Structure 1
């Protein structure tokens, strides 16, 4: 790979934090147009989509945390508790709210979202994330440390080829799991 360079996430994307619920506010189970993405919603599948396990914020709470929404194709990464869970925001969660325990990687420039997702979930990516984690009692992945994560960046064409192959493998695994579940 002659066109491979090592970049930091800050070179190709913006990283932004989430927002804690205001004091005294609780999530609600009654579905509305303000889903709230928590750490437990990450790490189950690559694309995060609304499902019955999601909780929501009420209209009033939504107004106070409205600057902390995610958009379709943003990449979320958990930064407290179970650190390093990753997911890509799907269509049904466009404009959803994000917990303060996740940061979003957004405004990608010259990097394929699937390629970056696969790097972050790879053993090398998870190793880099663990090296960037601080704190013994309550480990945390600081925003600046996510911005500083380094990864290999080939040409966009090569990124898309790599992502395409990995997507096909993921799809085969998903189909095999469905077959196994039916058996």
Structure 2
């Protein structure tokens, strides 16, 4: 259930799934948590070092939080992944890969509104190479990605 939101900037940013675009968060239409509701959801935050993954509605979108949204409130339709012993960009790339996205599709509960439970996210089979290798993979992906976009066009 969404909290009642307001468009006025009171400092309590609420990031919705609809704000999550292109591996980041679009800040053009942010909403805010009213003062009277904020204490009850103030623990549900996400930091710039974390990775988000959407778990309801549009499921499996991943990305990072811009620095200016560090500590913002996160919708209950997304989960926060803390990249321990992993490179944040590598984690985003691997979670976006077809291999992991196919696993996610298998784990989605088929109810009135499909969901991906946190317990199922924990079961994803994610390869974790050494940190130095993760950084090399990210560097190579970022080097080759523009060519992939050109080929796609």
- Larger RCO (alpha carbons 8 Å, 6+ apart): 1
Distance in 2 of aligned mates of 1:85 and 1:41: 11
TM-score, L = length of structure 1:
0.74
| 1:60-89 Cα shifts (integer Å, max 9, x gaps) | 222111111111121111111111111111
Q: Tell me the matched-pair count.
A: 149
Listed as ranges, the gaps of 5+ residues in structure 1 are: 1-19, 177-183
TM-score, L = length of structure 2:
0.87
2:88 equivalent to 1:88:
no
Structure 1 moving runs of 4+ over 6 Å? none
2:6 equivalent to 1:31:
no
Q: Is the 8 A contact 1:28 1:58 kept in 2?
A: yes
Q: 1:40 aligns with which of 2, 10, 18?
A: 18
CA apart distance, 1:47: 3.1
Q: Is the 8 A contact 1:73 1:90 kept in 2?
A: no
2:92 equivalent to 1:114:
no
Listed as ranges, the gaps of 5+ residues in structure 2 are: none
